[in-house]
Structure 1
Amino acid sequence: MNQKIFINKAEASGIIALDLLNYKPTTEIVELDIKDHLFMGLIVKEKEFKESIAAVDFSVYNEKAVAIVCSVDAIIPPWALMMLMEKLAPYVVYADLNNAETVLLDLWKRRLMYADLKCFKDQKVVVRARADHDPALYLLAAGLLKPLVKSLMYGEIGLPKVIFKS
């Protein structure tokens, strides 16, 4: 009989996929609005600010990442941020003066930077394309993988865009 043998060319290519989604942080990110601790919702007055943050149960931020924002146009002196961080520090895993999206990206980039990528050494690697990922992640991945891999690609294993070959 005449049997046709199908060969999976993608599998036979030896290309390994790196999915950036595997490095997405799982830490819950919450926003803390400084506006709630401002005098009349507009300015920082030391006494009132101290009293306001002293009344907060910061344990609600336990094991969370905190994105510190100010939803009103107010000048926040650095000492006020330091006081706020002093209260948050025993509880949070990360805090930054940024919105939740930026904090997520920062944490994601940190996870990628500290990831053990040795398994990609001297391999043909394709970084999976995902429209919802920030382009900064691809920039970082390329920089981290370039010294390790034999070839770097973008897209999917079956139809990758070659970035470089050594």
Structure 2
Amino acid sequence: MDQKILINKAETSGIIAFDLLKYKPTVEIVELDIKDHLFMGMIVKEKEFKESITAVDFSVYNEKAVAIVCSTDAIIPPWALMMLMEKLSPYTVYADLNNAETILLDLWKRRLMYADLKSYRNQKVVVRAGTDYDPSLYLLAAGLLKPFVKTLMYGEIGLPKVIFKN
């Protein structure tokens, strides 16, 4: 009887997968609402603001990323943010005046920008598709990989969409 040997073309293609999920930050991101430290929840009064943030146990932010937000329409002077950061800095790994989703994206992009991509040099690389990834991650990945790779693709190894070939 004639036997056919099946060959996995995806395995033999030499295509390497680049998975954005590998670079997703694992740090916990928490929000700190400045409103809780404002006079009547609306006004920055220096004395009251200092007293309020002095009473906070900032160790709860240890090893976390902090998204500093203000849920009211208050005007926050820069010095108030600086005072807040002075209290946070011994504990937090990262803090910014943004919501948690934006902080996650910023940290994700940082991890991509500082990634060692030399192993992709002169390789055929497919950036894996993911439905819940921000499109700006694909934009960044393409820009970072282009100087290294021989071929850049999108999708999955078995059925990639070719973006460019060198």
TM-score interval (norm. to shorter): over 0.9
The reply on whether 1:62 has 2:62 as its aligned counterpart is yes
Post-superposition shift, 1:132? Answer: 0.1
The list of structure 1 runs, each at least 4 consecutive aligned residues, that deviate by more than 2 angstroms after superposition, is none
Alignment partners' CA distance in 1, 2:129 and 2:107: 20
Using the size of structure 2 for normalisation, the TM-score is 0.99
- The residue type equivalent to 1:6 in the other structure is L
Q: Which position in structure 1 is the counterpart of 2:165?
A: 165
Alignment partners' CA distance in 2, 1:142 and 1:54: 45
Could you give the per-residue CA deviations for residues 11-35 of structure 1, whole angstroms, max 9, x where no partner exists?
Answer: 1110000100000000000000000
Post-superposition shift, 1:51? Answer: 0.3
Query: How many percent of aligned residue pairs carry the same amino acid?
Result: 86
- Is there any run of 5+ residues in structure 2 with no aligned partner, and where? none
Name the count of aligned residue pairs.
166
- The residue type equivalent to 1:24 in the other structure is K
Q: Which position in structure 2 is the counterpart of 1:47?
A: 47
SS of the equivalent of 2:51 reads helix
Alignment partners' CA distance in 2, 1:48 and 1:3: 83
Q: Which position in structure 2 is the counterpart of 1:23?
A: 23
Q: Which position in structure 1 is the counterpart of 2:141?
A: 141
Alignment partners' CA distance in 1, 2:74 and 2:28: 27
Alignment partners' CA distance in 1, 2:22 and 2:14: 20
Post-superposition shift, 1:81? Answer: 0.2
Alignment partners' CA distance in 2, 1:100 and 1:80: 20
Q: Summarize the alignment of residues 10-159 of structure 1 with structure 2, pairs less than 5 Å apart.
A: 10-159=10-159
Alignment partners' CA distance in 2, 1:37 and 1:136: 34
Post-superposition shift, 1:152? Answer: 0.2
Alignment partners' CA distance in 2, 1:35 and 1:87: 16
Using the size of structure 1 for normalisation, the TM-score is 0.99
Alignment partners' CA distance in 2, 1:107 and 1:59: 21
The reply on whether 1:3 has 2:3 as its aligned counterpart is yes
